[in-house]
Structure 1
Amino acid sequence: MKRSIKSVLTASMAALCVLGMGMTANAYELNPEVKDVTPALREASTVGVWTAENPAMKEAPDKDAILVMTFGTTFTDTRTKTIDAVEAAIQKAHPDVPVFEAYTSHIIIDRVKANEGITKMTPEEAFAKLQAEGYTRVAVVSLDVIPGMEYSYDSVVTKMQVPHFKKISLATPLMYFQGTEGEPDQVVDFLKALSSQFPKMGKHDATLIMAHGTPHPGNAYYSVIQDRIQELGMDGVFVYSVEGRPNLEDVIPKLKAGGYKNVTLMPIMMVAGDHANNDMAGDEPDSHKSILTKEGFNVKTYIHGLGENANIRGLYVDRATEALDALQK
């Protein structure tokens, strides 16, 4: 009988030997004929929450912190309701571990500074601050929705900091596991949480959930989302993206073929920023609302970021808890 990733974790870890930094996380079971597991093979087989230990700081005292990484936003109102709200929820769940924040977009950092006089830290600046203040173990939490390009950046910048701390962990994004190898289906978890904000829909009503899109292979998650939408019987719900596939042009024929007349647009992004207010709901001729109206649909917009949904905030708290648990093992 095939064992799950978690069931083989302990045995796999005992068999792995990595020179320099010690890295642990969920891992696929390697063929028993593989006797000498190289660092590259070990890293390639890592899935789930990523952790790394620095043997040079083995005797350092444990002082823990949580670092939340987010792309950020220049929209003050949605920032308060989403990013700040998620961070507050994480802090409430872990009152004894301070929560810090880093913006990954340098453009947004500059604009927030210029327009509001507020200084947001880059990840590198945040890590330097934590190191200067004596924190030795850091649980990094990403507010990304899928493991796409932004999450890859979070991963790289986190791994570059390993020499400066005793231990680091990196949480998975909102959606990661898809129900294989005994792991949960976090796409289903996400959709169930999101459904609390769906409008009441009749036979001719559709809800289009707008994702960002990415050139990263992680864009394939949107196809998985649509598959799970169908599995869950969420008739009339379609996912599309601003900068990836499927896009609005892919969905419009499906709306017409299904006889839908009324459409509600809502973003599935952490914040309701420029994409939600302008690309999706703007009055310009090329906005999604305008395009659908021209195609004969009655269009409503739901301009709220995912961080406003208490159920979604709960999932991010779960990710933070998983990272913190891995950090403290």
Structure 2
Amino acid sequence: MKKWEKLLAAGLFCTAVAGFYNPAAEAAYQLNPEVKNATMALKTASEIGVLTNENKDLANLQNKDAIVVMTFGTTFKDTRMKTIDATVNAIKAAHPGVKVVTAYTSHIIIDRVAKNEGIKFPTPEEALDQLKAEGYSRVALVSLDVIPGMEYNYDMGVYQNYKNQFKKMTLGTSLMYWQGQAEQPDDVTETIKALATQFPKQGKHDAILIMAHGTPQVSNAYYSVIQAKIDELGYKNVYVYTVEGWPSLETVMPKLKANGIKNVTLMPMMMVAGDHANNDMAGSDPDSHKSILEKAGYTVTPYIHGIGENKAVQALYVERANDAWQALEAPSK
């Protein structure tokens, strides 16, 4: 019996929510209609993929729709314009005439940007409170997170806390969510191919180290999947490591030595090229990744650009936004 057939037996079934530009459907899950008296635990277990909630008590409200794009944010103005702002603008272009709000999940960054630049980005909660006050009744929540880690948990918390305050609310997935399991889309492979459009040409003695953030949450295991997919796709001497998780730089350095690598390109797998990219990765301090590698005898070239600058990656984020929007616009059940 297939894995998802077992889930069917447990009272779950899969329904496809098609993206505007992606013929491969983005999957979501909901309870099997044969389940008449689902417990809260079973309802929670069915919340996978693009999430959708309809409040029947507000069914008579007129449809007034908006999109809230949630991102951690950055204090680096230049990279913000090239990454977050550019990605949000791409989402706006795909949804002309729709109100699109950018919300920061980092309250510290919100305060610092407000102090240094006089720009006040709302938290997702503030953005939703304002939309409700303005009479918006249906909201698609969009995430600019890379994997469904701790930051994506914040997004899910916002969805759970606010879903019944609106007639309808949806939450899209992170950039990488599905892994091609059980006939689901392979977001990881899609993302790696998009990221590869910025890879430099490599010789026998060259390597690319992709710096991810890392998370103490169990989703840190995504980095093992990413590495496996990189190897499966045939990219040679391309390794993922993390700033605050596993694998670390020390984990991958023995692979460089074993493969006779002399030249290393460092690049972040983060929406923006902020503090981690400029300081932890490419800084001049002795404990920066660049300094550590140079001390070990490697020639190091930092690529200080957030993945939000990559047009192919932007297109994937637009697809994720489209998935959330399509679920919002789907007929009521």
Letter paired with 2:74: T
Cα separation, partners in 2 of 1:229 and 1:132, compared to 1, 3 Å? same
Shift of 1:316: 0.3
SS state at 1:240 partner: strand
SS state at 2:181 partner: coil
Q: Is the 8 A contact 1:139 1:169 kept in 2?
A: yes
SS state at 1:161 partner: helix
- Counterparts of 2:315 and 2:105 in 1: how far apart (Å)? 23
2:18: which partner in 1? none
Q: Is the 8 A contact 1:146 1:174 kept in 2?
A: yes
Shift of 1:47: 1.3
Letter paired with 1:286: D
Shift of 1:39: 2.5
- Counterparts of 2:148 and 2:38 in 1: how far apart (Å)? 26
Q: Is the 8 A contact 1:144 1:270 kept in 2?
A: yes
1:229-248 mapped onto 2 (5 Å cutoff): 229-248=230-249
Cα separation, partners in 2 of 1:86 and 1:261, compared to 1, 3 Å? same
Letter paired with 1:314: A
Matched, 1:140 2:141: yes
1:210-289 mapped onto 2 (5 Å cutoff): 210-289=211-290
- Counterparts of 1:310 and 1:26 in 2: how far apart (Å)? 24
Matched, 1:93 2:87: no
Cα separation, partners in 2 of 1:220 and 1:168, compared to 1, 3 Å? same
1:306-325 mapped onto 2 (5 Å cutoff): 306-325=307-326
- Counterparts of 2:5 and 2:145 in 1: how far apart (Å)? 26
- Counterparts of 1:52 and 1:255 in 2: how far apart (Å)? 48
Q: Is the 8 A contact 2:209 2:267 kept in 1?
A: yes
Equivalenced residue count is 318
Cα separation, partners in 2 of 1:33 and 1:113, compared to 1, 3 Å? closer
1:297: which partner in 2? 298
> What are structure 2's unaligned runs of at least 5 residues?
16-25
Shift of 1:298: 0.5
1:117: which partner in 2? 118
Cα RMSD (Å) = 2.5
Letter paired with 2:206: D
- Counterparts of 1:119 and 1:230 in 2: how far apart (Å)? 43
Shift of 1:31: 9.4
Question: After TM superposition, which residue ranges in structure 1, 4 or more long, deviate above 2 angstroms?
Answer: 1-5, 11-14, 25-37
Q: Is the 8 A contact 1:79 1:271 kept in 2?
A: yes
Q: Is the 8 A contact 2:170 2:328 kept in 1?
A: yes
1:77: which partner in 2? 78
- Counterparts of 1:212 and 1:45 in 2: how far apart (Å)? 28
Cα separation, partners in 2 of 1:28 and 1:142, compared to 1, 3 Å? closer
Cα separation, partners in 2 of 1:74 and 1:253, compared to 1, 3 Å? same
Shift of 1:36: 3.9
> What are structure 1's unaligned runs of at least 5 residues?
15-24
Percent identity of equivalent pairs: 62
Cα separation, partners in 2 of 1:165 and 1:74, compared to 1, 3 Å? same
SS state at 2:183 partner: coil
1:327: which partner in 2? 328
Matched, 1:200 2:213: no
1:131: which partner in 2? 132
TM-score, structure 1 normalization: 0.91
1:21: which partner in 2? none
Letter paired with 1:130: L
Letter paired with 1:229: I
2:21: which partner in 1? none
- Counterparts of 1:72 and 1:248 in 2: how far apart (Å)? 25
Q: Is the 8 A contact 1:4 1:181 kept in 2?
A: no
- Counterparts of 2:306 and 2:5 in 1: how far apart (Å)? 35
Q: Is the 8 A contact 2:241 2:248 kept in 1?
A: yes
- Counterparts of 1:199 and 1:4 in 2: how far apart (Å)? 43
TM-score, structure 2 normalization: 0.90
1:22: which partner in 2? none
Q: Is the 8 A contact 2:53 2:164 kept in 1?
A: no
More deviation, 26-35/205-214: 26-35
Q: Is the 8 A contact 2:72 2:104 kept in 1?
A: yes
Q: Deviations over 1:217-273 (max 9, x none)?
A: 111000000000100000010000000000000010011011111000000000000
- Counterparts of 1:4 and 1:186 in 2: how far apart (Å)? 22
- Counterparts of 2:14 and 2:176 in 1: how far apart (Å)? 25
SS state at 1:160 partner: helix
Matched, 1:169 2:162: no
Cα separation, partners in 2 of 1:259 and 1:4, compared to 1, 3 Å? farther
Shift of 1:35: 6.5
Cα separation, partners in 2 of 1:34 and 1:93, compared to 1, 3 Å? closer
SS state at 1:197 partner: coil
- Counterparts of 1:154 and 1:257 in 2: how far apart (Å)? 41
Q: Is the 8 A contact 1:65 1:137 kept in 2?
A: yes
